[in-house]
Amino acid sequence: MRAVLVVNPKATTTSERSRDVLVRALRSEVDLSVRYTRRRGHATDLAREAAEEGVDLVVTLGGDGTVNEVVNGLMTAEPPTIRTGGSPAERLPALATVPGGSTNVFARALGLPREWPEGTSMILEGLRLGRSRTIGLGRADDRYFTFCAGFGIDAAVIHRVEQARRRGRVATPALYFRSTVNQYFLGSERRHSTISLERPGETPEGELSTVIIQNTAPWTYLGEREVNPNPAASFDLGLDVLAMRQLRVASTARTVTQFFSRTPDPRGRQVLRLHDLAEFTLAASRPQAFQLDGDYLGEREKVRFASVPAALRVIC
C-alpha cells in the first residue's frame, strides 16, 4: 500500500522526535513518503497531488485545519484512470488522521484518542485489520468541511483566538472562554438579527443572529468536555443546524448551558434547530464572520451549504 504523510511542522502537540517515531511506525505497515506543509493552503495541494499520483492512503499529522485542507485536496483531485468505477469514495485514497493539534475534533469524532501516540496505534491497527468507514462531508459554496461551520458569533470568536495566537498566546479553553465573553459583550450587535435561512420549498427562517452547522457531533470540545448544540448530527446523515434569534443575556446563557449538558437538547423561544438537511442557504444584510472546521475564512453575506453523502473513506 502506497501512502503519503502530510505533516504540518507547526502542529502544537508533536515534536521532530515524535514525528520520526510516527514515520517509522507507519513505514512498518505501508510504503510511505513524507511531505511537509510550508504555508496555509499547501496541504490541499499536497493531498491533490497524492491522489492524482494514485496513492492508496493519505495520512495527516496536524490539527483540524490541516485535515480540512487535505480533505479539500482529495475531493478536488482527478484520480488516475486505474481508480475509475465504483463509488466516488472508492476512487479516492483513504484518509487517516493522527491528532496533532490543540483540539482535534475530527479525529476524536471518529473515535480516535486525543493524544497522537494512542491515535497512531489505533490507525496502525485499523490498517492491519482493513478497518475503515465511509463518511459524508459538508460543503459551503465550493469548499468542503468535515465537522462544523459557523456564520456569526462563533466564527468571530475563532477570529479573536487566531489573532491572539499570532501574538504568541496558546489556544487553551480559557482563551476560548475569554474570547467568547469579549465577543458577546463587546464585539456583537446583539440587538440586530440580520441572518435568514432559506431551504428549497420551505418558508425562509429570518431574523437570526448566529448559526452553527454540524456534520457530526460534537460541535467542538472544551478540554475533555463535549460541546453539543446538535447532538443528533452524524457523518451518516445530512447537516444539522442550530440558530439563535436574539442574543439576549438570559436566553443565550440558558442555551449555552444546555450545550454542555450530559443529555443536551437545546430548546427555547430564541432557538431554531433543524436536522438532516440536504441543502440550505444563509444570507445576511451585513457581512458576517464565517468559519469552517475551526478556521476563520473572513466575512460573507451569503453562503450555500450542501450535504455530500458517502464522500470519503477514513481509517478508524
Per-residue pLDDT of the chain (316 residues; tens, 9 = 90+): 999 999 999 877 778 888 899 999 999 999 999 999 999 999 999 999 999 999 999 999 999 999 999 999 999 998 775 555 567 788 899 999 999 888 899 999 999 988 888 999 999 999 999 999 999 999 999 999 999 999 999 999 999 988 888 888 877 778 888 888 888 888 766 666 799 999 999 999 999 999 999 999 999 998 888 999 999 999 999 999 999 998 888 888 888 888 888 888 898 889 999 999 999 999 999 999 999 999 999 999 999 999 999 999 999 8
CB 183 within 8 A of CB 156: yes
Nearest to 252, CA basis, from 203, 188, 310? 188
- With contact defined as beta carbons under 8 Å apart, do 210 and 244 qualify? yes
User: Which of 240, 238, 245, 239 lies closest to 205, judged by CA?
Assistant: 245
State residue 213 phi and psi, 5-degree precision: -120, 135
In angstroms, how far apart are the furthest CA atoms of the chain?
58
Measured in whole angstroms, how far is the alpha carbon of residue 130 from the centre of its chain? Answer: 25
> Rounded to two decimals, what is the model's pTM?
0.92
Q: Is 96 helix (H, G, I), strand (E, B) or coil?
A: strand
Helix (H) or strand (E) holding 88: none
Dihedral pair phi/psi, residue 181, rounded to 5°: -60, -45
Query: Does residue 239 contact residue 138 with C-beta atoms inside 8 Å?
Result: yes
Question: What is the enclosing helix (H) or strand (E) of 121?
Answer: helix 116-129
Q: What nine digits make up the cell of 145?
A: 468541511
Q: Are 210 and 153 in contact (CB under 8 A)?
A: yes
Cα separation of 136 and 310, whole Å?
5
Closest CA to 264 of 231, 225, 220, 311: 231
